Amino acid sequence: MKFCIFGAGGTGGVLAAYLAMAGNDVTLIARGNHLAAIREQGLTLHTNHRGTEVIKNLTACTAAEYEDVPDVCFVCVKYYNIEDAIDFAREKLGKDTLIVPVLNVFGTGGMMQEKLPELTCLDGCIYVMGQIEAPGVIYQSDKMLRVIYGYRPGQEQKLLPIAQELEKVLQAAEIRGHFSDNIIRDALQKFAYVSPAGAAGAYFNVTSDKLQQEGPEREMFAGLIREVVALGKAMGIAFERDLVETGLSIMDVLKPGSTTSMQRDILRGGKSEFAGLVTRVVELGETYHVPVPLYQKINEWGKEHLQLHG
């Protein structure tokens, strides 16, 4: 299968590496020193579970240079760069490409579809722990790697054969791919972990160690999950599992010292996904008349203490 991976950070870099190692045709859209290093030396994937791999059978280029027609385009940028992905799709992609955003923020696919009515944008999510370790080097700190994607309710199922085949291609690449028949539920289940983890971690400025121990940090994390679950129920979503229990179990197996990408962005003093992971929940609470006092507390803290960029 031919892939375009838009965004070469921890998410896009890991996906590109696994897909290329499985023999797929992969082009990674990158920029700056990271792009230069990949072009010169290949993409290096550093892991704890499979050692270090140097992948040279992929192409890396800028968004402006891309001129191919992929079967699938995975959008792997941060939420604050989503307009770049939309512009890229509008200029470079066509009706034959399935677009699958796997951002942290819930509902990104639907938002992209509204702005790209002629294209096919699914919704999706990914479970992965990855980050840029150095130019051209991606560090995958945990072997967890799962991609879930699907059509939204009522969405015309254009390019269905590609969507069906994608599940097999992902699994052949040692990625736990799942073509979901209820992507809204599945994406919100993922959001119910990553948003509370990022919000609690940033608010208390702590790593996974503190969230793995009994105390106010863990209580906040669990309480935030409950607020997302309440929102989901108001949306008519029936969850198949206890998301608090699931979220705590995911947290408890993380490597000590782990942080979320939002926390790392905040500590660097740059743009972060705070608006998409925290403020958006407050707005959804207002829309669905669901109290979210913990999110409101963290949102107010963010307005006061962070230089919010979106």
- pLDDT of 268 reads 85
Whether pLDDT at 249 is above 80 = yes
Segment 132-167, tens digit of pLDDT: 999 999 999 889 999 999 999 999 999 999 999 999
Residue 309 has pLDDT above 60, yes or no: no
Which residue has better confidence, 217 or 267?
217
% pLDDT > 70, the chain = 99
Q: Give residue 269's region: left, alpha or beta (phi > 0; psi -120 to 50).
A: left
Residues 76/102, Cβ–Cβ less than 8 Å: yes
Higher-confidence position of 29 and 263: 29
Provide the pLDDT confidence category of residue 41 given band limits of 50, 70 and 90. Answer: very high
Partners of 26 in the beta sheet? Answer: 3
- 3-class state of residue 154 by DSSP: coil
Query: Cα–Cα distance between 231 and 268 in angstroms, integer?
Result: 31
Write down the pLDDT at residue 310: 41
- The confidence score (pLDDT) of residue 307 equals 59
Residue with tokens 């669990």: 222
pTM listed for this prediction: 0.90
Average pLDDT, the chain: 95
